[in-house]
Structure formats: C-alpha cells, structure tokens
C-alpha cells in the first residue's frame, strides 16, 4: 500500500518497502525477480535462527542472514541482545563489503567485534572468538585499503559450521 509520498506502508501506516531485493538487499524495480524476503514477524528458536542464517551466508545472502539474526535479537531475551546484535552487524558488514562500501563495512565489523567480545564464551556453539578474529582481520584489511577475496567473506557462526 502506498501513500502520496510514494513510500510503501503496511496496514498500520508504518513504512515497508515491498519492492523486490537482490541477494545483497538492494531494491530492484517493481516486478523484477528478487530473492525471497525474510518475514518481518520471523520468530525462531536460537538454534534454528543460527542454522537459517548460516544457510543464507553459505549461499551469499548476507543481507537476508542479517535480517534473520536481527529478528533473533529483537525476539530474544535481553541477556542475549549484544550477541545477536553483533552477529547481525557482522552479516551486514559483509553485505557492505560485497556492495563496495568498504569504509562502512569496516565500521560495522568493528561494532560487531566489540559486541561479540562482551559475550565470550557465547551460547549455542557460536564461535565468538573466531568471529571476532575474522571481523577484526577483515576490518584491518579494509582500513588498509586491501579488498578481501571472496573466501575471506565466508564465515561460520558456530564452531561446527
């Protein structure tokens, strides 16, 4: 549903972009094929959120992985807020690298590292130590002007992935 401003809005009048998106979350023209969207009301158990996000990351859909992780942060207990925020920021940092926004990516990766550092060790088998090291190394490379190879953008959220 639209308004005179041309923005899509949901039934309650809140802005909602209904345009299709590519694998990196960039809006496509109306009617273009896009990747399936993550529902706004997604609510999964932590293990299911991790598995879903990992599958999306493995398929190069870091933006959608970010959406899954953001949903876990918004629906999870307050005691896990920094963990899920850090994971979501890591995924969106990788999205920014893939979009070519290297400065923004480095800033998000630093924020992700900082949040994840506050939850070591983490529950659910999340490899916070490995993720922190990877986020920091990637941010260092970006800040030094080194563009990472695609394999450097592959992350495993758990020690088993």
pLDDT average, residue stretch 85-114: 97
Are 33 and 107 contained in the same domain?
Answer: no
State the CATH number of the domain containing residue 71.
Answer: 1.10.3450.10
The more confident residue out of 110 and 24 is 110
| Cα separation of the two ends of the chain | 40
pLDDT tier at 3 (50, 70, 90 boundaries)?
very low
Tell me the residue range of the domain where 20 lies. Answer: 1-37
Q: How many domains does the chain have?
A: 2
Angle, vertex CA 134, rays to CA 125 and CA 113, nearest 5: 75
132 belongs to a structural domain: yes
pLDDT average, residue stretch 101-111: 97
82 belongs to a structural domain: yes
159 belongs to a structural domain: no
Give residue 120's pLDDT.
Answer: 81
Global pTM reads 0.86
Give residue 18's pLDDT.
Answer: 80
161 belongs to a structural domain: no
Give a three-class secondary structure readout of the chain: CECCCCCEECCCCCECCCCCECCCCCECCCCCCCECCCCCCCCCCHHHHHHHHHHHHHCCCHHHHHHHHHHHHHHCCHHHHHHHHHHHHHHHHHHHHHHCCHHHHHHHHHHHHHHHHCCCCCCCCECHHHHHHHHHHHHHHHHCCCCCCHHHHCCCCECCC
Are 73 and 128 contained in the same domain?
Answer: yes
158 belongs to a structural domain: no
4 belongs to a structural domain: yes
Are 137 and 63 contained in the same domain?
Answer: yes
CA dihedral 84, 85, 90, 92 (to 10 degrees): 110
List, for residues 46-91, the tens digit of each pLDDT value: 999 999 999 999 999 999 999 999 999 999 999 999 999 999 999 9
123 belongs to a structural domain: yes
Are 57 and 5 contained in the same domain?
Answer: no
């Amino acid at each position: 549903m639209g308004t005179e401003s041309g923005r899509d809005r949901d039934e309650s009048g809140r802005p909602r972009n209904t345009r299709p998106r590519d694998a990196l979350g960039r809006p496509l023209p109306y009617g273009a094929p896009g990747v399936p969207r993550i529902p706004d009301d997604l609510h999964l158990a932590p293990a299911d959120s991790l598995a879903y996000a990992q599958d999306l990351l493995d398929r190069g859909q870091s933006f959608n992985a970010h959406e899954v992780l953001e949903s876990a942060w918004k629906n999870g207990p307050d005691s896990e807020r920094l963990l899920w925020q850090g994971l979501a920021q890591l995924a969106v940092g990788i999205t920014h690298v893939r979009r070519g926004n290297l400065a923004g990516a480095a800033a998000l990766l630093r924020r992700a590292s900082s949040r994840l550092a506050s939850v070591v060790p983490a529950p659910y088998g999340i490899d916070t130590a490995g993720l922190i090291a990877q986020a920091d190394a990637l941010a260092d490379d970006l800040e030094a002007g080194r563009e990472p190879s695609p394999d450097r953008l592959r992350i495993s959220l758990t020690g088993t992935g």
